[in-house]
Amino acid sequence: MENKQTFSFNQMLSPFTYQSSSFINYIYSNLKSGMCNVHMKNGSCYVYRNVSRRAILKLQLDKTVSLGFWFNRNITNPKAKAIKVWSY
């Protein structure tokens, strides 16, 4: 019997995105719910709802995108709602 590995599309997507940024430590994104947890360099953490799922997919697939650029273009839009979770 041959052992075949199954591959799902979800295995390809990483919810954590780390890139060099002077503003953001990392972004945890959830494609299914359209939510992003953004951890800032100053210690603040925000949860954003109603983020474009297309933008989240691009963030998860494109590991060269600038986090600050992605944040300013996709999260600071009027549809996304922010909740401040904590601050150091």
pLDDT digits (tens, 9 = 90+) for 6-24: 434 444 456 777 677 888 9
Q: Report how far residue 42's alpha carbon sits from residue 20's, in angstroms, rounded to the nearest whole number.
A: 15
Please determine, for residue 38, whether its predicted confidence score (pLDDT) is greater than 60. yes
Enumerate the domain spans of the chain. 19-86
- pLDDT score at 63: 81
What's the distance, CA 43 to chain centroid?
17
- pLDDT score at 54: 93
Cβ(74)–Cβ(51) below 8 Å: yes
CA dihedral 44, 23, 13, 46 (to 10 degrees): 20
- pLDDT score at 8: 41
| Residues 44-50, mean pLDDT to the nearest whole number | 91
